Structure 1
């Protein structure tokens, strides 16, 4: 096989001595190199600064930098997506919006290690909030009667004082000797780890899809691998995240699995576009 395209995204979240929290996301790929960041108040998650920079893009067409003053003062949490879309849309190829959205996701995940600062007196109270807020939204929270381990037990007692959260997503697209393509990816963060391989026909139709989980909060999460064959027969390049989520289980699926599948579809789309 011949490697045609690579893409790696890394997000890290840190607690600062100033009483703030900083999320940074970097992207390095065959066609792009960029970074974005959000600095927010540690307790309220109210944004104090947000910015981005693209260092390398095809022909330099997307190169540039900017700050997103429109989200300053907003809470960097689930409800900020609309504000980000309003401020950024698809400017600069959608790269700033994607990376800043990853920063927000990182802040949400990092909350596990600053529960007291965020207003939850005990790990159990934090678990109770998520059980109610995220009920019937993924495999884990749709099967609470089946889980064998609570979230706080899975995370453990180890304190994080500076670095709070890390995530890495990698995608590679290969050209096979039969003229078809293989799009392979991994998702690894502080709580989860999985890998997926998509085999595509020369015109981008999924002819095989397989993968598995290596780390997850509970065994019920590992069951999400059963959704992958449902992608077979679909034209993968350019599949929307909504379509992927519906195919990969909906409320019985996994948002992180959908995340890496969406990146794989996007990477395949880049190859098929000839960029």
Structure 2
């Protein structure tokens, strides 16, 4: 009886969690397809879906250039952050280094540092080196901001690898780099995929740094452009909903493409 009750409670929790995610998304789609003069959209399929709202929002907000900016920033940030985090996590998770614990604590302290605390000094630093109004003004801080979590994530993975495997490879004459590339990385694919997807999502959703460090509106990220779009057309709910769907669509598509590997990485990290 207790086992059956536990399964029912688990099922009820999963249903509630699914409904809490699906219903707002359906409401957003419904609102995006309503006529533009609709003030309070309801959760219902419109009798005459206004698919033109997406084209109107795309052209009025200039999402073409904004999405291109977000994509460029994310595509540059992800491989650099993944490579640097993997190398650092490998060193801290499988090597005997002096002061490794203190250094790891220093990196973890970066997780507690909010963007709001560094954005002003960061602005003056980027201005002094001439990077204001360039993509690198956002790319470089994002790489540094994502490193603490990446090091923590990859260190946890490499620490779970039995040291006997590494020692056996060393006895066979394999160097540190060869051990990483040929032995450890093939088993780290779920962890790497999960971290890469999370990094892409965080870089794509970047709002504050792009808003402050990039002056040209057309070169900002899609979320920051959506914020400007909201200020201009705050009363046009269907257009705002259509713009929101345009911004989040790449993340949703990417998740569905890599869903299995993403979940496998999360489960693997949880078990470790």
Q: TM-score, normalised by structure 2?
A: 0.27
Higher relative contact order (CA 8 A, sep 6+): 2
Structure ranking higher in strand proportion:
1
Q: TM-score, normalised by structure 1?
A: 0.27
Structure ranking higher in helix proportion:
2
